[in-house]
Amino acid sequence: MKIINEMRLDFWSRPENEALARMVISAFIMPVNPTLEQLGDVKTAVSEAVTNAIVHGYREAKGLVRLRASLDEAGGLSVEIADKGRGIEDVDKARRPFFTTMEDSERSGMGFTVMESFMDQVEVISQLNSGTIVRMTKRLAPAPVLAREA
Amino acid sequence: MLDYEKRNGTVCVRLSGELDHRRAEAIRPELDGLIADPGVRRLVFDFAGLEFMDSSGIGMLIGRYKLMRSRGGSVAVMPGGRRVERLMELSGLYEIIEKLA
Ligand SMILES: Nc1ncnc2c1ncn2[C@@H]1O[C@H](COP(=O)(O)OP(=O)(O)O)[C@@H](O)[C@H]1O
Ligand SMILES: [Mg+2]
């Protein structure tokens, strides 16, 4: 599929950048006219992955979080959130609903479940003491048939 | 900073804007200060003006639920918009927290 736009943003692992990442990804997908539902889904999923990089990856120490995204000509979004933090010991376990390694700081363990419910695909690549990459895709463009009817 | 009302043992907190990890951390001390009063038996969150919430909001709610329950109190939520409700349903939170009409 032909890529029609691409972006990359690096930011410090500061909590105020959770909102920054949500704003940037919203603005990036705007040109393909996502529904409010799709916009909310993408914002929430990105917020989850960025928050994880900050609170788990770096445990709120200073580090860089990278947000990358691309759009293809069919309205397919691909988005990636990467950190060079602590990494995940057991990814399958981490993805289970309500699993958290930080219960005492009131994490709910629902972050990956939210990402999986709101996006079409979620891939997690992680290595202990080296970092984590979360790659997600979602088809945003409406079905061509419906578009023609309008 | 919190927009709240305290009456007859009930604290009602109106949350607007976005409830993410940063915001949850920011409001927690004030929230817990409010309900530290043993006379408070019930904590109500009004989500009508809430535009965004992620799983950090869920964690904050579960935390307050545990706190209130340990003292024999309760937590209730006045529902927000579609987005916020989708998260509430996904997490099954309404099985432990009362949903007000
Ligand atoms: N970027 C990351 N770096 C290190 N660990 C992570 C990262 N993302 C997730 N994790 C691990 O996966 C667990 C589950 O994540 P999640 O479902 O978002 O729940 P929560 O953030 O509420 O703990 C976390 O508790 C943490 O142990
Ligand atoms: Mg999380």
Is the pLDDT at A143 greater than 80, yes or no?
Answer: no
Per-residue pLDDT band for B93 (boundaries 50, 70, 90) equals very high
Catalytic residue among A17, A18, A52, A86: A52
Q: Quick one: closest CA in A to B93, which residue?
A: A108
Percent of chain A exceeding pLDDT 70 equals 94
Q: Which residues of A touch B28 (CB under 8 A)?
A: 106
Find, among A85, A81, A88, the residue nearest to A10 by Cα.
Answer: A81
Averaged pLDDT score across all residues of chain A = 94
* Rounded Cα distance, A137 and A116, in Å: 10
Is the pLDDT at B91 greater than 90, yes or no?
Answer: yes
A57 Cα distance to chain centroid? 14
Residue A48 falls in the annotated catalytic set = yes
Per-residue pLDDT band for B86 (boundaries 50, 70, 90) equals very high
For the whole model, what pTM was predicted?
A: 0.96
Q: What amino acid is encoded at A68 in this protein?
A: R
pLDDT of residue A98: 96
CB–CB of B21 and A15 under 8 A?
Answer: yes
| Token pair 């909102």 in the structure block, residue | A19
Residue A129 falls in the annotated catalytic set = no
pLDDT in tens, B7-65: 999 999 999 999 999 999 999 999 999 999 999 999 999 999 999 999 999 999 999 99
Q: How is B45-101 classified by DSSP, letter by letter?
A: EE-TTEEEE-HHHHHHHHHHHHHHHHTT-EEEEE---HHHHHHHHHTTGGGTSEEP-
Q: Taking residues B93-98, report their average pLDDT.
A: 96
Residue B10 token pair: 């009930």
Q: What is the ipTM of this complex?
A: 0.95
What domains can be seen in chain A, in order of their start residue?
Answer: 3-141 (3.30.565.10)
Q: Taking residues B76-90, report their average pLDDT.
A: 96
Q: What is the CATH T-level fold of the domain B3-99, as seen in this structure?
A: Transcription Regulator spoIIAA (3.30.750)
pLDDT in tens, A132-142: 999 999 999 86
Burial environment of residue B64 by CB neighbours within 10 A (0 to 12, 13 to 18, 19 or more): buried
Length of chain B measured in residues: 101
pLDDT in tens, A16-35: 999 999 999 999 999 999 99
Distance from the A106 Cα atom to the nearest Cα atom in chain B, whole angstroms: 5
Residue A52 falls in the annotated catalytic set = yes
